[in-house]
Amino acid sequence: MANIFLTPSIIAKEALIVLENNLVFGGLVHRAYDTEYHKVDDTIRIRVPATFESKVWAGSWSAQDISEKSVSVKLDT
């Protein structure tokens, strides 16, 4: 026997509320850069974290130079 719904829009709205409450991934996305939109064929720079060399403790320490690097990425699609 097939279902016959008299109020599909109400059922759809309730189903959407249930779906939104069950979604997890959307809350995990970092949204700080939402205002920075770029267009196709723009080139953006992505910062690469600095890396450091670990050494065995020998009673003294020496400072390491910090070099910030970036990679250019062209948005082509």
Domain that residue 17 falls in: 8-53+65-74
Is the predicted pLDDT of residue 12 greater than 80, yes or no? yes
- Classify residue 12: in a domain, yes or no: yes
Residue 16 covered by a domain:
yes
Radius of gyration of the chain (CA): 26
Tokens of 46: 């992505």
* pTM, two decimal places: 0.40
Please check whether residue 58 lies inside any domain of the structure: no
Q: How many domains, the chain?
A: 1
Q: Calculate mean pLDDT across residues 19-40.
A: 81
Is 41 a member of any domain? yes
Residue 32 in any domain: the answer is yes
Tell me whether residue 28 is in a domain.
Answer: yes
Cα 64 to its chain centre, rounded Å, is: 31
pLDDT-based confidence at residue 5 (cuts at 50, 70, 90): low
User: What is the rounded distance in angstroms from the CA atom of residue 14 to the CA atom of residue 8?
Assistant: 10
Domain presence at residue 34: yes
